[in-house]
């Protein structure tokens, strides 16, 4: 089963990852990181297919996908 890891301290909440995710795994969390941004979280991690599009489109390299 693929695993998605989003590093909150690097995420600025642009949500490119959520926009491009074919399975709508990612969404905006309610917590705020140390820079003051609400960051992306894996809301439906069991739906992840491991395509890693989210990691590719992330401008801050805040996402890693493990297969």
Q: Give the model's pLDDT for residue 9.
A: 97
| Tens-place pLDDT, residues 4-22 | 999 999 999 999 999 999 9
Q: Give the model's pLDDT for residue 22.
A: 98
Phi, psi of 16 (to 5 degrees): -60, -40
Task: Give the global pTM.
Answer: 0.92
Cα 23–57–42 angle (5° rounding)? 40
| Tens-place pLDDT, residues 38-65 | 999 999 999 999 999 999 999 999 999 9
| Paired tokens of 36 | 């003051």
What does the DSSP 8-state code read for residue 37? -
Please, which pLDDT band fits residue 28 given cuts at 50, 70 and 90? very high
């Amino acid at each position: 089963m693929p695993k998605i890891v989003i590093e909150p301290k690097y995420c600025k909440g642009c949500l490119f990852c959520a926009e491009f995710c074919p399975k709508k795994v990612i969404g905006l969390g309610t917590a705020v990181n140390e820079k003051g941004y609400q960051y992306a979280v894996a809301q439906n991690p069991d739906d992840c297919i491991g395509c890693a599009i989210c990691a590719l489109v992330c401008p801050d390299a805040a996402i890693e996908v493990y297969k």
